[in-house]
Chains A and B, each alone.
Chain A
Amino acid sequence: MSGISSVVKEAVRELKRLIDPARVLDTPEARLLYAYDATAGQHLPDAVVKAHSPAEVAAVLKMADRLGFPVVPRGAGTGLSGGSLPAAGGVVLVLTGMAQIKEIDRENMAVVCEPGVITADLQKAVEREGLFYPPDPSSLNYCTIGGNLAENAGGPRGLKYGVTKDYVLGLEVVLPDGETVRLGGKQVKNVTGYNFLQLFVGSEGTLGVITEATLRLLPLPPARKTLAAFFDRLEQAADAVTAVLAAGVVPCTLELMDQKSIYYVEEYLRLGLPRQAEAMLIIEADGLPEETEAQAARIARVCRQAGARDLTVARDSAEADRLWRARRAVSPAISRVRPTKIGEDICVPRSAIPAMVREIQKIEERFGLPIVIFGHAGDGNLHPNILTNRRDREEMARVEQAIRAIFEAAVKLGGTLSGEHGIGLTKKDYLGLDLSPRAVALMRAVKKAVDPAGILNPGKIFGGGSA
Chain B
Amino acid sequence: MKAPSPFSPLLKQWEQSLWRCNKCGACTGACPLYARTKDEGMAARGKLALVEALLEGSLAPGPGCAAYLAGCLLCQACRESCASGVPTTEIILAARRELALFEKLPFALRLLLSGVLTRPALVALAGRALELCRRQGICRLAERVLPGEFFPLLWRALLAAPALPGAGAGARGLLPEAAGESSLARPARGTVGYFTGCALTLFFPRVSRATQRALARAGWAAAPRNFCCGMPHYAHGDFRTARELARKNIDLFASYAAVVTDCATCGAMLKEYAQLLADDKEYAPKAKAFSARVRDVSEFLAAEGAPDPERFPRPFPASGPAGHPGFFFFRKERIRAAYHDPCHLARGQGVREEPRRLLAAVPGLELVEMESADTCCGGGGTFLFTHLQLAAGVGEAKARDILAAGPDVVVTGCPGCLLQLKMALQRAGRGDLPVLHTVELLGL
CA distance A78 to B26 in the complex (A): 9
Beta-carbon contacts under 8 Å, A338-363 to B? 339-341
Establish whether residues A78 and B25, one from each chain, have CB atoms under 8 Å apart when the complex forms: yes
Q: At the interface, yes or no: B65 with Cβ under 8 Å from chain A?
A: yes
Within 8 Å CB of A142, what residues of B? 25-26, 28-29
Tell me the bound Cα distance from A250 to B50 in angstroms. Answer: 47
> In the complex, which of the residues B22, B28, B50 contacts A29, with contact meaning CB atoms closer than 8 Å?
B50
Q: Known: A33-B40, A335-B22. Contact between A118 and B29, CB under 8 A?
A: yes
Do A36 and B59 touch across chains, with their CB atoms under 8 A apart? no
Of the residues A38, A39, A96, contact of B38 by C-beta under 8 Å: A96
CB within 8 Å for A76 and B41 given contacts A32-B49, A33-B46, A40-B22? no
Residue A391, interface by CB 8 Å = yes
Known A29-B59, A96-B38, A141-B26; contact A336-B84, beta-carbon cutoff 8 A: yes
Which residues 258-280 of B have a CB within 8 angstroms of A?
none
Of B20, B21, B29, B50, which is within 8 A of A32 by CB? B50
Task: Give Cα A450 to B381, complex, Å.
Answer: 53
How far, in whole Å, are A30 and B49 apart by their CA atoms in the complex? 11
The answer to the question of B68 belonging to the interface, with a C-beta cut-off of 8 Å to chain A, is yes
Residues 2-45 of chain B: 1 if any A CB is under 8 Å from the residue's CB, otherwise 0? 00000000000000100111111110110000000011110001
Whether the Cβ atoms of B59 and A28 lie closer than 8 Å is yes
The residue from B24, B53, B59, B64 contacting A139, defined by CB atoms under 8 A apart: B24
B129 at the interface (CB under 8 A from A): no
Tell me if B49 and A33 are in contact (CB < 8 A): yes
Q: Which residues of B contact A97 (CB under 8 A)?
A: 38
Chain B 66-99 residues near chain A, CB threshold 8 A: 68, 83-85
Given contacts A335-B83, A336-B85, contact A32 B53 (CB under 8 A): yes
A332 vs B80: C-alpha distance in the bound complex, in angstroms? 11
- Once the chains are docked, how many angstroms separate the CA of A38 from the CA of B26? 10
Write out the residue numbers on chain A whose beta carbons fall within 8 Å of the beta carbon of B21. 40
Q: Please encode chain A, from 319 to 347, with 1 for each CB lying within 8 Å of some chain B CB and 0 for all others.
A: 00000000000011001100111000000
A339 touches B19 (CB 8 A): yes
Expressed in whole angstroms, the minimum distance between the Cβ of A417 and any Cβ of chain B is: 21
> Do A77 and B65 touch (CB < 8 A)?
no
A391 vs B41: C-alpha distance when bound (angstroms): 25
The answer on a CB contact under 8 Å between A335 and B84 is yes
Contact with B along A9-47 (1 / 0, CB 8 A): 000000000000000000111101111111110000000
- Return the chain B residue nearest A140 by Cβ: B29
Give the distance in Å from the alpha carbon of A143 to the alpha carbon of B29 in the complex. 8
> Are A27 and B19 in contact (CB-based, < 8 A)?
no
CB of A116 within 8 A of chain B? yes
Q: Is B132 an interface residue (CB 8 A)?
A: no
1/0 contact trace for B115-159 toward A, CB 8 Å? 000000000000000000000000000000000000000000000
A341 to B23, CA, bound (A): 12
Q: Which residue of A lies closest to B86 (CB)?
A: A335
CB-nearest residue of chain B to A36: B23
Q: Are B22 and A34 in contact (CB under 8 A)?
A: no
The answer to the question of B60 belonging to the interface, with a C-beta cut-off of 8 Å to chain A, is yes
Query: Are the CB atoms of B85 and A38 closer together than 8 Å?
Result: no
CA of A29 to CA of B68 in the docked complex: distance in angstroms? 9
What residue of chain A has the Cβ atom nearest to residue B58's Cβ?
A32
Q: How far is the CA of A138 from the CA of B205 in the complex (A)?
A: 47
Residues of B within 8 A of A40 (CB): 21-23
CB contact between B59 and one of A32, A120, A141, A331 (< 8 Å): that residue: A32
- Bound-state Cα–Cα, A33 to B59, Å: 12
**Chain A residues with CB under 8 A of B20:** 335, 339
**A122 part of interface (Cβ distance < 8 Å):** no
A331 touches B83 (CB 8 A): yes
Query: Contacts A332-B84, A335-B84; is A30 near B41 (CB within 8 Å)?
Result: yes
Q: Which of B16, B26, B58 has the most CB of A within 10 A?
A: B26
Q: A28-B59, A29-B59, A332-B84 are known contacts. Are A340 and B38 too (CB-CB below 8 A)?
A: no
* Residue A72 interfacial (CB < 8 Å): no
Q: Is the CB of B41 within 8 A of A28?
A: no
Residue numbers in B under 8 Å from A27 (CB-CB): 64
Is the C-beta of A113 less than 8 angstroms from some C-beta in chain B?
Answer: no
Most chain-A Cβ atoms within 10 A of its Cβ — which of B20, B22, B39, B64?
A: B22
Distance of A377 Cα from B65 Cα, bound (Å): 45
Q: Are B19 and A33 in contact (CB under 8 A)?
A: no
B69 CB → nearest A CB, Å: 10
| Cα of A34 to Cα of B28 in the assembled complex, Å | 13
- Shortest distance from the beta carbon of A394 to any chain B beta carbon, whole Å: 17
1/0 contact string of A420-458 vs chain B (CB within 8 Å): 000000000000000000000000000000000000000
Q: Give the contacts of B325-377 with A (CB-CB under 8 A).
A: none
A118, B65: Cα distance in complex, Å: 27
Which chain B residue has the least Cβ–Cβ distance from A75?
A: B25
Asked whether A38 lies within 8 Å of B19 as measured between CB atoms, the reply is no
For B24, list chain A residues within 8 Å (CB): 38, 78, 139
Q: Give the docked Cα–Cα distance between A335 and B20 (Å).
A: 8
- Flag whether A99 is at the interface (Cβ < 8 A): yes
B63 CB, nearest partner CB in chain A, Å: 10
7 more A-B contacts (CB under 8 A) besides A77-B25, A77-B40, A142-B29? A28-B59, A32-B49, A33-B49, A141-B26, A142-B25, A335-B83, A339-B19
Give the top 7 A-B pairs by smallest Cβ distance, nearest first. Answer: A142-B29, A78-B25, A33-B40, A332-B83, A335-B84, A96-B38, A141-B29
27 contacts between A and B (CB under 8 A): A28-B59, A28-B60, A29-B68, A32-B53, A33-B39, A33-B40, A35-B49, A36-B23, A37-B23, A37-B25, A38-B24, A40-B22, A40-B23, A76-B25, A77-B40, A78-B24, A78-B28, A99-B38, A116-B38, A142-B26, A142-B29, A336-B85, A339-B19, A340-B19, A340-B22, A390-B19, A391-B19
List chain B positions with a Cβ less than 8 A from chain A: 16, 19-26, 28-29, 38-41, 45-46, 49-50, 53, 58-60, 64-65, 68, 83-85
Chain A interfacial positions (CB closer than 8 Å to B) = 27-30, 32-40, 50, 76-78, 94, 96-97, 99, 116, 118, 120, 139, 141-143, 331-332, 335-336, 339-341, 390-391
